[in-house]
């Protein structure tokens, strides 16, 4: 293990400030994929937990020389915590951390409670807004629904419009959207453009080997690439568009990595994941999406009331997540695009049989998408430059052949038991 992995740092906290949600999205990793620990959590985060976590952040930043720290308000639905919570949190953070440490604030909301008053408050507190939306009304309302079963699209878009039209907000909200391969990808993309969305995060549905991702009922392929095929259709239009277009984070991150730039993302690249999660009761966890691996899977017996962030970074699951882009299974280590893919998202590698000693359940999709994007990027470069650099196109099939050949020659990595013991 490298020196950096022996001294892991946290620069981001995902704050579960509300442990309940006013929506009941069918694919939600918090409530509908097997973890029930939210039932024992306080509904909202209390002042004593806020004070304790801010003190832990201050101690951690001073110890590691961190000058900027990101807080992401999350849930459940974070707006259920109420407006006073945000005002007090930001005031306390600024008072304790500034000027040595600059706090940065984001919020991820389902959008249905957003109003002009909420948006003005977030503008005053300098909180950047992200909203969850899954495409066209009929597609969104198959999954993003109230507990009554009523679709949430109209209310989400109303909240989106409040944020777009609020004169005090410096930045328009971005959206996160879970991919639905049964929806038309181009219609989905055009719909987002019609809503004047400037930043789009397209997310693969959370899945493990024990809970595989959705696939068409007519699936006949041995190693399908439905998600890559869906994304490639959008990419091929988006990449060559000459008019103003939204930033699609998945594509821009992959392009940056292809060009040798560094990207901090929990699902791509080779950078360490410098992130922890704080639950409403102060519990400190590695990553909330790892809840899909089993009931109570993320619990580490650490709490801001009793533990420093440094201690929490050294729990087994937190250490693995921190180094998950370089602590890869043998197949990933043999892959020619591993420095771009980074093995994909850690939760998507899990199986009860092998722990995290697996490639992502989306391995073929990621390989096909990345080689496709890479080849289109290379086409835009002068051939003489590519020749001098010794760089050439690589097809999906050629990449798979390289992996098979490399695996035959490579011994198992020494840390396999660490990946398997979860």
pLDDT tens column, 129-187: 999 999 999 999 999 999 999 999 999 999 999 999 999 999 999 999 999 999 999 99
| pLDDT value for 385 | 72
Residues 148, 151, 152, CA angle at the centre, nearest 5°?
A: 105
Indicate whether 389 pLDDT > 90: no
Note whether 177 and 202 are within 8 A (CB): yes
The answer to the question of residue 342 being in a domain is: yes
Query: Are 359 and 306 part of one and the same domain?
Result: no
Note whether 325 and 312 are within 8 A (CB): no
Q: Taking all residues of the chain, what is their mean pLDDT, rounded to a whole number?
A: 95
| pLDDT value for 393 | 87
Return the bridge partners of 201, or none. 176
Note whether 188 and 136 are within 8 A (CB): yes
Indicate whether 118 pLDDT > 70: yes
Query: Are 398 and 293 part of one and the same domain?
Result: no
Indicate whether 222 pLDDT > 70: no
Q: What is the pTM of this model?
A: 0.95
Indicate whether 218 pLDDT > 80: no
Query: Are 337 and 313 part of one and the same domain?
Result: no
The answer for 349, left when phi > 0, alpha when psi is -120 to 50, beta otherwise, is: alpha
Query: Are 29 and 118 part of one and the same domain?
Result: yes
Say how far apart CA 349 and CA 358 lie, in whole Å. 5
Residue 213 is classified by DSSP as P
Residue ranges of alpha helices (H) inside 353-395 are 363-379, 383-389
Say how far apart CA 393 and CA 375 lie, in whole Å. 5
* Mean pLDDT (whole number) for 307-332: 96
User: By CB neighbour count within 10 A (0-12 exposed, 13-18 middle, 19+ buried), where does 298 fall?
Assistant: buried
Among the candidates 322, 343, 369, a domain finishes at: 322
Token pair of 147, please? Answer: 């507990």
Overall number of domains in the chain:
2
The helix (H) or strand (E) run that includes residue 128 is strand 127-132
Indicate whether 390 pLDDT > 90: no
Query: Are 187 and 226 part of one and the same domain?
Result: yes
Query: Are 251 and 338 part of one and the same domain?
Result: no
Identify the domain containing residue 372 by its residue range.
Answer: 330-420
Q: What is the DSSP string of 54-65?
A: HHHHHHHHHHHT
Query: Are 29 and 169 part of one and the same domain?
Result: yes
Say how far apart CA 262 and CA 278 lie, in whole Å. 27
Query: Are 159 and 130 part of one and the same domain?
Result: yes
Query: Are 261 and 391 part of one and the same domain?
Result: no
| Nearest by Cα to 133 from 145, 124, 119, 144 | 144
| pLDDT value for 88 | 98
Indicate whether 4 pLDDT > 70: no
Among the candidates 297, 322, 347, a domain finishes at: 322
Note whether 62 and 27 are within 8 A (CB): no
Say how far apart CA 205 and CA 410 lie, in whole Å. 32
* Mean pLDDT (whole number) for 285-305: 97
pLDDT digits (tens, 9 = 90+) for 12-62: 999 999 999 999 999 999 999 999 999 999 999 999 999 999 999 999 999
Token pair of 301, please? Answer: 């017996």
Residue 44 maps to which CATH number?
3.20.20.70
Query: Are 255 and 351 part of one and the same domain?
Result: no
The answer to the question of residue 3 being in a domain is: no
Cβ count near 154 (within 10 Å): 13
The answer to the question of residue 2 being in a domain is: no
Residues 295, 296, 298, CA angle at the centre, nearest 5°?
A: 120
> Which pLDDT band, with edges at 50, 70 and 90, does 380 fall under?
confident
The answer to the question of residue 1 being in a domain is: no
Token pair of 392, please? Answer: 């050439």
Among the candidates 273, 301, 322, a domain finishes at: 322
Query: Are 207 and 344 part of one and the same domain?
Result: no
> Which pLDDT band, with edges at 50, 70 and 90, does 1 fall under?
very low
| pLDDT value for 249 | 97
Note whether 51 and 112 are within 8 A (CB): no
Query: Are 83 and 185 part of one and the same domain?
Result: yes
Cβ count near 34 (within 10 Å): 16
The answer to the question of residue 341 being in a domain is: yes
* Mean pLDDT (whole number) for 81-107: 98
The answer to the question of residue 85 being in a domain is: yes
């Amino acid at each position: 293990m490298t020196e950096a992995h022996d001294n892991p740092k946290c620069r981001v906290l995902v704050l579960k400030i509300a442990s309940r949600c006013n929506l009941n999205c069918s694919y939600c990793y918090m409530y509908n994929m097997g973890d029930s620990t939210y039932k024992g959590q306080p509904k909202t985060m209390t002042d004593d937990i806020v004070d304790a976590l801010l003190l832990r952040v201050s101690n951690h930043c001073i110890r590691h020389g961190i000058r900027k720290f990101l807080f992401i308000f999350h849930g459940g639905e974070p707006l259920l915590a109420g407006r006073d919570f945000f005002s007090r949190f930001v005031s306390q953070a600024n008072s304790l951390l500034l000027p040595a440490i600059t706090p940065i604030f984001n919020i991820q909301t389902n959008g249905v409670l957003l109003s002009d008053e909420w948006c003005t408050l977030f503008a005053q507190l300098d909180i950047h807004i992200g909203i969850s939306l899954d495409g066209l009304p009929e597609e969104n309302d198959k999954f993003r629904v109230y507990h009554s079963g009523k679709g949430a699209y109209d209310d989400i878009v109303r909240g989106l419009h409040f944020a777009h039209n609020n004169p005090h907000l410096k930045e328009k909200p971005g959206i996160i959207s879970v991919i639905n391969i049964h929806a038309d990808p181009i219609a989905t993309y055009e719909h987002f453009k019609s809503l004047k969305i400037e930043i789009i995060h397209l997310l693969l549905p959370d899945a493990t080997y024990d809970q595989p991702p959705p696939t068409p009922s007519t699936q006949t392929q041995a190693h399908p690439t439905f998600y890559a095929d869906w994304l490639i259709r959008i990419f091929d239009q988006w990449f060559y568009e000459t008019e103003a277009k939204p930033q699609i984070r998945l594509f821009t991150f992959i392009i940056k990595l292809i060009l040798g730039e560094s990207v901090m993302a929990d699902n791509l690249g080779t950078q360490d994941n410098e992130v922890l999660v704080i639950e409403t009761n102060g519990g400190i966890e590695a990553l909330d999406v790892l809840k899909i691996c089993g009931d109570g899977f993320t619990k580490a017996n650490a709490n801001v009331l009793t533990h420093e962030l440094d201690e929490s970074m050294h729990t087994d699951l937190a250490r693995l997540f921190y180094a998950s882009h370089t602590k890869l299974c043998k197949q990933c280590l043999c892959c020619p695009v591993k420095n771009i893919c980074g093995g994909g998202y850690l939760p998507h590698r899990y199986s009860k049989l092998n722990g995290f000693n697996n490639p992502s359940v989306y391995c073929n999709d990621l390989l096909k998408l990345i080689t496709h994007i890479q080849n289109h990027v290379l086409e835009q470069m002068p051939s003489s430059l590519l020749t001098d650099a010794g760089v050439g196109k690589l097809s999906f099939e050629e990449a798979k052949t390289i992996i098979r050949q490399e695996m035959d020659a490579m011994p198992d990595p020494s840390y396999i038991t660490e990946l398997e013991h979860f």
